[in-house]
Amino acid sequence: MNPLTGLYTAATALRNALFDRGVLASRRLEQSVVSVGNLSVGGSGKTPFVIALGELLQARGIRFDVLSRGYGRKTRGVLVVDPAGNAADFGDEPLLIARNLGVPVIVGESRYAAGRVAEQKFQPQLHILDDGFQHRSLARDFDIVLMAERDFDDRLLPSGRLREPLSSLARANAVVLPAALTVDHPVLQKKPIWRVERRLVLPNLPSAPVVFCGIARPEQFFAQVRAAGVMPSAEISFPDHHAYDLDDIQALVSAGTRLDAGGFLTTEKDAINLAPEQHCLEPLLVAELKLTLDRPNDLVDAILARIAERKPRS
């Protein structure tokens, strides 16, 4: 095992113990917080899940906002996301959430500070905390943890992709698993479990497109595209949250010309990160990832029941 993994394990265990014992404090907002997070670094579908959960809350007439760190942005402090803005200012995932849900999305290094701004400006009934499972400095009322299949056999950073051990699922109020995944793990035995099916919605595609993306687990996207019957002329991956520049665009155009590709296909997140020169990628088509949650109303009911039990902020 990488010796750094041992140090990371000890540091993670100490930090969690300090929060569990109240040595490190969690600040509480006026309104309830529902966290959507995971144990691993990227690739579990948190952003599509936040959007799906938001749509369920909107169907109930519940007024909410989304709090996010705004990973990858070049700005600092608390900002309200402008849906017409750019990823450099707000981060790609907050922009994607804001454009899909049409609700206030607030980014900030301190999600507590972001939540205070949200409560002053928008008077929400609750907050969704995006990628919040490890952000324990903000108290939450309901923790949802999304798990990918590989998480159950993975290792902690830096040897693997896990940010916390599986035992940390004890803190979760609900665990979301892929629909087809069968897992028998002791930490899951007493946890409410929901199943989610991921479906890639593809537009009418040209023949042999260049398929590219800059996401945490590009192989998943490429496999989904092939499973949909698309035969790419090339599969090109970039780092997660990649901000495309003119050189990247030109490299993609060159690949398309060399391979006689009929066009280009990418993800919603990548479409946000593409440079203004994206018009060079013609035709450029965007695949949407849709999540279908089993028993969705039961999940919302469980969240609302838990929130109803919360004590006023002291």
pLDDT at 179: 92
Residue 313 has pLDDT above 70, yes or no: no
**Are 21 and 163 in the same domain?**
yes
Nearby residues of 178 by Cβ (< 8 Å), 6 or more positions away: 147, 148, 149, 195, 196, 197, 198
105 lies in some domain: yes
Query: Per the structure, how many domains does the chain have?
Result: 2
Q: Considering the domain boundaries, does residue 52 fall inside one? A: yes
pLDDT tens digit sequence for 151-207: 999 999 999 999 999 999 999 999 999 998 888 888 898 899 999 999 999 988 888
Local structure of residue 312 (DSSP, 8 states): P
> pLDDT by residue (tens digit) across 4-19?
899 999 999 999 999 9
Which two tokens mark 281?
A: 């990628």
Q: Is residue 154 part of a domain?
A: yes
Q: What is the CATH number of the domain that holds 20?
A: 3.40.50.300
The per-residue pLDDT for range 193-206, each reduced to its tens digit, is 999 999 999 988 88
Quick one: pLDDT at residue 312? 62
For residue 235, give the nearest of 254, 203, 208 by alpha carbon.
208
Assigned token pair, 147: 């798990």
Question: How does 14-44 read in b/e, with b if 16+ C-beta sit within 10 Å?
Answer: eebeeeeeeeeeeebbebbbbbbbbbbebbb
Q: Give residue 311's pLDDT band: very low, low, confident or very high (50, 70, 90).
A: low
Residues 118 and 62 placed together within one structural domain of the fold: yes
Same domain, 114 and 188: yes
Please state the pTM of the whole predicted model: 0.94
CA distance 175 to 187: 10
Q: Is 72 left (phi over 0), alpha (psi -120 to 50) or beta?
A: left
Domain that residue 258 falls in: 207-282
| H/E segment holding residue 212 | strand 210-213
Please tell me the chain's helix, strand, coil percentages from 3-state DSSP, rounded to the nearest 5. 40, 20, 40
